[in-house]
Amino acid sequence: MLCGAMLAPPSAQAQAQIDHVVKRTDRWLQVFVNSSAMRRIVPVDVLLPADTNTPNPTLYLLDGNGAQESAGQSTWTLKTDAVEFFADKPVTVVLPVGGGGSFYTNWLRDDPQLGHNQWETFLTRELPPLIDAEFHGNGANAVAGISMGGQAAMTLAFRHPDLYRSVGSYSGCLFTGGIGQAYVRGAVADRGGDADNMWGKATDPQWSAHDVSDHADGLRGKALYMSAALGVPGSTDKTFDAELGWPFNEAAAIAIEKVAHDCTLAFGAKLRLEKIPATVQKYLIGTHSWPYWQRPLHDSWPVLAGGLGLG
């Protein structure tokens, strides 16, 4: 039984079906899932392992705040070498398309701009059994993401401790109190949403219910990887690319990464105090932008793979 009862509970009758599949390549599918929880068809990119006859684990790789369904694919496949990187890995990779500003969580209320969001139910109850049945999964799962998706990955992991064995956060802020709440609210507002519709007013208990730092013990026993950079610009920032949304300029990318860096190190210290093992990687160069997230994806793979039994 999955443990995720700290929110207004997900639908007890969560169901999903595959509506149709578009083949990009023999190993890269876009699967359109008819979700009862989301009340719509949700596209997800699926990267298949070379051997689909043998049961394989699954990695759920979450996008950042700039994710746009209109882009037609996950930003991971647009901005990194994820397709090539996982080509020789014995893992099925599932990448939701869109979800910017949603924090991949169940919202308390529909939002005038961001609509109906019940991502937690979709990602934890509807999608895993469907993926396992359709793509020969073995029931072992990992979840990782960047920025908004990194916070969401850690949150989903502590709220559903029986579902995930490995967790990764790249440039995520793992607090929802104080500066962490300001960080989350700013991201939601940047996409035109109102975070009160997500987890309520500032003092609503739902903020604490989704605060990884308040529930770190739910991560105990998992393979954990966290990374962030100092916010120092590198060579790629000379041609800063903000075409996919938040942040809109280099100054914002520097400031946001500095916050993510401080959050990551503070949470790493908390884990050490609680004697919860984790790999915490600090990069000297990097802003809050896509050129700097391919490296941590590569660097985290041995940790994620080890938790999935692939080490």
Residue-by-residue pLDDT tens, the chain, 311 positions: 333 334 444 444 458 999 999 999 999 999 999 999 999 999 999 999 999 889 999 999 999 999 999 999 999 999 999 999 999 999 999 999 999 999 999 999 999 999 999 999 999 999 999 999 999 999 999 999 999 999 999 999 999 999 999 999 999 999 999 989 999 999 999 999 999 999 999 999 999 999 999 999 999 999 999 999 999 988 877 665 654 445 568 888 899 999 999 999 999 999 999 999 999 999 999 999 998 999 999 999 999 999 999 96
Q: Which residues are registered as beta bridge partners of 71?
A: none
Q: Are 299 and 227 in contact (CB under 8 A)?
A: yes
The domain that holds 103 is classified in CATH as 3.40.50.1820
Residue 170 lies in a domain: yes
pTM for the model: 0.93
Closest Cα partner for 146 from 177, 186, 104? 104
Residue 107 lies in a domain: yes
- How buried is 23 (Cβ within 10 angstroms: 0-12 exposed, 13-18 middle, 19+ buried)? exposed
Residue 200 lies in a domain: yes
CA-to-CA distance for 6 and 218, rounded, in angstroms?
A: 12
- How far is residue 57 from each of residues 6, 192, 249, measured CA to CA in Å? 27, 36, 38
Residue 86 lies in a domain: yes
Output DSSP code: residue 171: S
Residue 105 lies in a domain: yes
CA-to-CA distance for 211 and 202, rounded, in angstroms?
A: 13
Residue 10 lies in a domain: no
Taking only Cα atoms into account, the Rg of the chain, rounded to an integer number of angstroms, comes to: 18
Residue 9 lies in a domain: no
The total of structural domains in the chain comes to 1
Q: Which residues lie closer than 8 Å to 262 by C-beta, 6 or more apart?
A: none
Q: Are 67 and 42 in contact (CB under 8 A)?
A: no
Residue 253 lies in a domain: yes
CA-to-CA distance for 280 and 296, rounded, in angstroms?
A: 11
Other C-beta atoms lying within 10 Å of the C-beta of residue 105 = 25
The parent domain of residue 179 ranges over 16-307
